[in-house]
Amino acid sequence: MWPGMKILAAVVCLPLAALLLACASPTTSPEASLPGFGKSLASEMDVPGAGARDLVHADEAGKLWAMQAGTKKRALGSELNHDGFTVTAAARGLGDDAATLRWEWLATLSRDAQAGLSVLSIHDTEGRLALEEVLLESCSRLAWHAGDAPELLVGCADHVWRYRPGPSSAPMLTPAQFAHAGSAFGPLSFGDATPRVRSALQLAGGVCQDEHCTTMRVRVGERDFTLLPQFQNGALARLTVFGPRRPRAAWRTKVKDDWEALVTEVTRETAATDAPYPSATSLTAVPETEGVFFTETHRPARDGAKATIGLFRNETGNARGFGAIAVITPPVAPVAVAPAAPTLPVPAAAAD
């Protein structure tokens, strides 16, 4: 039996009820472009102050907004979901008027200390996003330095980063890069602790599918997939990714598109889908399972991770469902992985 098929059998054989998972006006003047901020390591090691922590907040939807007593709530642009991250510092650059929501530049630092992740955001006076970076470390303090040009210092565990308008001499991790930065899948790498897996996926737009976040819905290209992580001794040891469960009529259309998106994401090679797309009749029964069929199309290895990618069919009663699937493992499989709980929901959407 190929890796992860027992998990597939456990989750796809449940009842079908468990499967449910302005154009701008031509006359509008173009907005002024925002300057880019470059990043470098600061020579000074004095940690900047904590800043105006009560100025910026994150709501339950993970959106950032600014507000002070007697002022109106103002939305701040962001490409990330900040839900679960604590806003540890906020500081206004240059135009700091204590009684109003004024600033020339507003810097915000939020973090999840357990996950070892932080996010730096810089907004202009209108709340537009000038810079947003994911820091793969715990950072908690920031401050603007006065001068002819804005200069922001960000204090992390054992060093300070400097941000100035202009080119960068240190690598920066944008939200788009972070979403694909892991060696396993998306932002995840094997060995990541449970809190980091959950926070990293959520930060990149993943949505928990149950109270304990056992499965998460993730976006791959323009399509939703379900990710089932497994852990050994608190560390990520295996990932199973399921495409939406679709009817037979979608085999040559939506199922194929799901498969291509999954192959591209797992292999990180757009040309990897040149493997022939199989016929729906080529799926064969999986041993020791009932009503589960599978065919393998790819077996790639990348960044120390191995994957089995293919398509599945499952049968529950008189209904058949088809979808793409990938099982991703580290180079040396763990000795034992805790089995999936029998009450898990099927990690696939039923609607076509």
Domain spans in the chain, listed from the N-terminal domain onward: 5-21+178-329, 37-172
Collect all residues with Cβ–Cβ distance below 8 Å to 352 and sequence separation of at least 6. 246, 247, 249, 250, 254
Burial of 341 (0-12, 13-18, 19+ CB in 10 A): exposed
Q: Which amino acid is at 49?
A: G
Q: What's the first-to-final CA gap in the chain, in angstroms?
A: 29
39 has a pLDDT exceeding 90: yes
Provide the strand spans (E) within the chain: 37-41, 56-58, 64-66, 74-76, 86-93, 105-112, 117-124, 129-135, 139-145, 151-156, 160-165, 207-208, 216-220, 223-232, 235-242, 284-285, 292-298, 301-302, 305-316, 319-329
Which is higher by pLDDT, 61 or 131?
131
Q: What is the pLDDT of residue 163?
A: 94
Helix/strand/coil percentages in the chain, nearest 5: 15, 35, 50
pLDDT given for residue 95 in this prediction: 58
Q: Among 221, 203, 247, which residue's Cα sits nearest to residue 62?
A: 203
- Residue bearing tokens 């932080």: 118
| pLDDT for residue 342 is more than 70 | no
How many C-beta atoms lie closer than 10 Å to residue 138's C-beta? 16
Residue type, 250: A
Residue type, 198: R
For 8, the 3-state DSSP assignment is: helix
- Give the max Cα distance, the chain: 72
Closest CA to 309 of 352, 346, 273: 273
Cα distance between residue 72 and residue 345, in whole Å: 42
- On the question of pLDDT at 52 being above 80, the answer is no
CA distance 212 to 345: 12
Has residue 47 got a pLDDT over 90? Answer: no
Structure tokens, 154 = 């960000």
Look at residue 351 and tell me whether its pLDDT is greater than 90: no
The partner residues of 144 in beta bridges, in order of sequence, read: 152
75 pLDDT above the threshold of 60: yes
Which of 50-64, 65-79, 190-204, 306-320 has the weakest average pLDDT? 50-64
Least Cα distance to 53 among 9, 126, 131, 111 occurs for 111
Dist. CA 62–CA 59, nearest whole Å: 5
pLDDT confidence bin for 21, thresholds 50/70/90: very low
What does the block give as tokens for 131? Answer: 């810079």
Over residues 160-179, the pLDDT tens digits come to 999 998 888 899 999 999 99
